[in-house]
Amino acid sequence: MLFIVREQRDKTTCPNLLVLSKGCENIGFMSPATIKNHYEAIIVGAGAAGMSAALSLSRSLKKDNREGGESPSILVISKLQPLRSHTGSAEGGIAASLGNEEQDDWHWHYYDTIKGGDWLADQDAVEVLAREAKKTVTRLEHEGVAFSRREDGRIAQRKFGGHTSEFGGKPVKRAAYAADRIGHQILHSLWQQCVQMGVTFAEEWYVTDLVLDKSKTANKKAKTENASAEDDAAGTTPAQPWATACGLVVLDTHTGQTRAISSDTIMLCTGGAGRLFHTTSNSWDLTGDGMALALKAGLQLEDIEFIQFHPTGLGHTGFLLSEASRAEGGILRNSEGRAFMRDYAPEHGDLAARDVVSRSIMAEIDAGRGVADPRDPDGPRDCVWLDMRGVGEDRMKSLLPQVYETICKYANLNPAVDLIPVKPTAHYTMGGIPITTRGQVYRWVDGQRRSVEGLYAAGECSCVSVHGANRLGGNSLLDACLFGTRAGEAMARRITAIASSHQEDQSLGMEAASNHAPDDRSARNENLMNQALSKRQSAMDHMLSSSEPEDRNEDSPDVESSDDINAYLLMQELGRIMEKAVAVRCDQTSIDKALSQINHLHNKALTLKSHSTEAALNQELTAMMEVDNLLTLSKAVLAASGDRKESRGALFRQDHPERDDVHFLSHSMVDCDGNIDWQPVHIVDMPPQGRQY
């Protein structure tokens, strides 16, 4: 069937979208040999954000290509086969004020998101999120997402933490769901639509470098070609460009070859960085690659110190037990059997915002009221109980099948009769690559947003600043699908504008063109790409070179053999360091200690050598680059955490326990060297208030 779809695609006028992901030979869409050295656009990542962007981009360009001319070439590079993307792990729901179960209003959603983010979210961006949520869910329904239904046929909705009616009143049913597998439904539906549109998926290619041109000539040229003016009315359009996108260096993991692929329009949709921590709900591949690419290219990350810990990870596995388990009646209890959340959140209890619930759990554990995992009864008492016995087994199997199966399979417990051990697990990165509401990446320079022309981002790797210091449940899928779509539309406008500009240049004729100084941009880009490719190849050659015994002093206690360390062990050690330093709570001592330890780890990482000298199908080689990305990102997280001397949302500093709006109602902007700048929060009509649940 896949080959038939490809044949149909070739007969249409829709753009020839190419999505690179791991394992393409096995599905027959294309051979790596057909990959070109230049594309009009490249999307990196094939989760909800990447595939939403691919669909939006292809549909927009198809509309613009009514004349039947040559379709722009578009490449989407994914680290995984798209149906393995972490979007598929989202369980509880996608937030939208549909009002199907009870009265709701997008203004209430707007307020809840700002309050949930502890007033650090940009309110103009949150307005877009809340206002466009209903349209986004309706579009997903039309794409084929099989939402759970009410008896009258409308989409069913459930309560989720922090979502209320009447601007902070009683909890409201706002999360549209598909049992507890909404991410799975969205991912498969978007995939099917991409196949129908002719999006070609090639798999298991790994992006190693993002190449930017920071020369003034390139930036001046790019400014004239940027046709996106959607943010002008809101006053958020970045000022004079800071750099221009050139292309990417990528590793074909099947052949072991590195390639330089140039493009005027690039989008990063690479997901989060849960692997920074030992206990995480994130899949194995979420190693912060896109964020690290941006840092290494000279860009900044915004609000990267805010990392959400989901309150209910299955004890000592990190596996997520959806917030829906509490929305359907689950209750958190301490070792005394007491439902403790009303002590910390009198009105909302177990459905308070996630950062509040996670801190409450840790407070109970610190007070000696934690419980041990039943699988290790003599182990640490670092969990609390999740009591789902009141939900009922039949209701669980109907509305929470994934939660039920996860508990039965991995804890060997029956949630209908047993108490379940849970503890906070690293779940979501609120910060990331700074973008506008149209996905345009920028750098904060001298109090201005300076755009990176041709570079876009969306999803968890980005920060459009709708989540602030803490994300509400149900808003992540909405963020990815909505802003992925908007960025795809902006990319289409840019591609169309560049094509029109080239046509105008050609219409000048040879005589007129000869009166203009030659544009050396292409030559400069080619030079930059070749330099990046050569540097990456040298680094890979070093990692693949055998480590000779005579190069090491076996008697030195300070030097470890390359056989003693590997990328996987370093990831484990990094996860334990970060968990002790900044998981749920931190202070300056824990941050400074972690920075020292991570510097030591980075020195170890520089000595890593692959146990195989072959680059093809060498997972260890990829892991070595992933651990380098994680180490780069961890330093940025710690630097930003150290500079923000207050507690806000997911960041709780025990040495600065209060929120400080006077000095820190601003976004941290951190670069690869740990330099911090501050960008004011966009306050529109919701001035900061107290935050009680």
β-bridge mates for residue 140, sequence order: none
- In whole angstroms, give the CA distance from residue 413 to residue 400: 15
> What single letter denotes the amino acid at residue 556?
S
β-bridge mates for residue 20, sequence order: 77, 202
Do 677 and 444 touch, CB atoms closer than 8 A?
A: yes
Residue with tokens 């993991």: 253
Residue 154 in tokens: 């409308």
Alpha helices in 328-459 (DSSP H): 341-344, 354-366, 393-399, 401-410
> What single letter denotes the amino acid at residue 627?
V
Do 314 and 421 touch, CB atoms closer than 8 A?
A: yes
- C-alpha distances (whole Å) from 60 to each of 155, 231, 293, 541 are 28, 19, 28, 42
Residue 36 in tokens: 């070109």
Strands 440-445 and 384-387: unpaired
- In whole angstroms, give the CA distance from residue 228 to residue 26: 39
Q: What is the dihedral sign for C-alpha 396, 400, 403, 404?
A: positive
452: nearest Cα among 126, 125, 218: 218
Q: Tell me which DSSP letter residue 72 carries.
A: P
Q: Tell me which DSSP letter residue 46 carries.
A: -
Alpha helices in 47-175 (DSSP H): 48-64, 106-116, 123-131, 133-143
- Round to the nearest angstrom and report the end-to-end CA distance of the chain: 52
- In whole angstroms, give the CA distance from residue 332 to residue 349: 9
Please give, one letter per residue, the 3-state secondary structure of 466-506: CCCCCCCCCHHHHHHHHHHHHHHHHHHHHHHHHHHHHHHHH
Residue 354 annotated to the active site: yes
- In whole angstroms, give the CA distance from residue 275 to residue 77: 21
Task: State the catalytic residue, choosing from 354, 471, 494, 691.
Answer: 354
Give the three-class secondary structure for 581.
helix
157: nearest Cα among 136, 139, 140, 182: 182
- In whole angstroms, give the CA distance from residue 35 to residue 31: 8
Give the three-class secondary structure for 319.
coil
Do 467 and 430 touch, CB atoms closer than 8 A?
A: yes
Please give, one letter per residue, the 3-state secondary structure of 519-536: CCHHHHHHHHHHHHHHHH
Cα 678 vs. chain centroid, distance in angstroms? Answer: 22
The residues annotated as belonging to the active site are 354
